[in-house]
Chains A and B, each alone.
Chain A
């Protein structure tokens, strides 16, 4: 038998809200969960597991020339650091890297500023990035050597090339994603041109710009190390790539690994200290990124 379901008619009531100080607060989370919530700790556990695996594999292989163990590499790294050989090479590499990186950022900013303020600028950016972004920086090295000779000039040139295009693309995409309302609000207060870019577009596009900076940083490192490897064959200017190349020639495989570990360490430090801090102080604080 099918009947139309009628909800029951219930009595009404009214009450004053209870005082809230009587409500118990949520208890403090237990210690284990607190520990597991520390991101660095979880990552440290992961890293030590990987190191243990490496150590086991190295011992099982038992061939120092092909695969030095984790402990041997750590020892080589420590001795390289304490002798001042590694820090010296790192300083040379970082100096060149920062120079190229800063120049790349400045150029990318100039290019995208022109691109957002005029149609011809936009065409220029789109054409240039689609032409040069797929071009590997290292492929430009022979040309750079021809133009700037052996040394710093060529390295800075190829690093600029590797930073400029991905950063410009990301920044431009970020600028285009800025809500129209925010743009109009800025223009409403009399902002225009470079002031609008600096005071509205750059902060609003910061998540995209930061990811462009990260990609640019990684590309710059790759290009630098690769270029130094080539340089190593032609001139002994020093640098981390040169250190790796030289030690490979002399079959100090543990030192080669130490050099590679140094690249990784610097990458980790920059990612975790510089970029994470930057993100925490800006886009996360502003609620633009979780």
Chain B
């Protein structure tokens, strides 16, 4: 069976792979802590990784591994208690329009703005474009995600998948250095999720933006990403960094794909002696 190309242990990476270009986004020994009145919770512990231009970089792990917190730290919403994050060599100190986030929740779209106004919002708020320019660009991006017919609709009249499309159009219209997606399809039904993965793929084929994508689905990670950072829970620590550029949407059934999924599953939950991987079992049942 073809195995995933195993990658070097993080930490030694930089010196071993001197031929690599400068990374776009660099996280070094990032520890995140949340302090409540009673106790301090460590969400991640000394996580390091590099994201290069054009990567579809996936943060994968079970719940409690701090992957969403890590994304929020990349976005600048929370600052690390240890280590640091740098975008193009400049340290990340706060949220900014060069790192646009697509959230999981549907309420990320202000309900008082129409679809078009929603896409225009960040362009105007960051002072990048004038109103007519922003309107033209908003329409262009709505067309890209197939929502040009809904430009004047209010978000509450849209389905969940359409709302996420608006959020993606809004993020891409900003042409950010990095697009950060926090389980953007997790609240969608399985059919819509599959469709959105396809659309994201074709948008990436066309535009080659840099993407950091958080998910808890092994299959989604393999399909969406070209590189996967595997995190172990409580607190989040790096378990592995894997390649998945060889998989696309249509390799889901292949033995190679299933082997990769099984390998990740074993790394997350320990080698399967308590039964086969859930993903696998489900797929087998669906296939039979």
Contact = CB atoms under 8 A, between A and B. Distances in A.
Contacts of B75: 184, 188
Number of chain A interface residues as a range: 20 to 34
A195 B112 contact: no
A285 interface: yes
B112 A188 contact: no
A13 interface: no
B125 A182 contact: no
A189 to B, nearest CB: 4
Contacts of A206: 112
Interface string A169-203: 00000000001011011111111000100011001
B229 interface: no
Residue from A182, A206, A288 whose CB has the most chain B CB atoms within 10 Å: A182
Contact of B105 (A181, A195, A287): A181
Nearest to B118: A185
B107 A181 contact: yes
Given A188-B75, A188-B100, A203 B107 contact: no
Nearest to B72: A184
A57 to B, nearest CB: 47
A282 interface: yes
A185 B154 contact: no
Interface in A114-171: none
A256 interface: no
A286 B156 CA distance: 7
Contacts of B248: none
Contacts of B103: 181, 184-185
Interface in A194-228: 195, 199-200, 203-204, 206
Contacts of A199: 125
B146 interface: no
Interface in B154-169: 154-157
Contacts of A184: 72, 75, 77, 95, 101, 103, 108
Q: Which of B96, B97, B125 has the most CB of A within 10 A?
A: B125
Contacts of B110: 182, 185, 200, 203-204
Contact of A179 (B107, B112, B121, B174): B107
Nearest to A283: B112
A90 to B, nearest CB: 34
A252 B75 CA distance: 71
A285 B157 CA distance: 10
B125 A286 contact: no
A199 B126 CA distance: 12
B23 interface: no
Given A184-B103, A188-B99, A189-B121, 14 more contacts: A181-B103, A182-B107, A184-B72, A185-B110, A186-B125, A188-B75, A188-B101, A189-B97, A189-B100, A190-B126, A204-B111, A282-B112, A286-B111, A287-B156
26 contacts: A181-B105, A182-B110, A184-B77, A184-B103, A185-B108, A186-B125, A187-B77, A188-B95, A188-B96, A189-B121, A189-B125, A189-B126, A190-B126, A190-B127, A199-B125, A200-B110, A203-B110, A204-B110, A204-B112, A206-B112, A285-B154, A286-B154, A287-B111, A287-B156, A288-B111, A288-B112
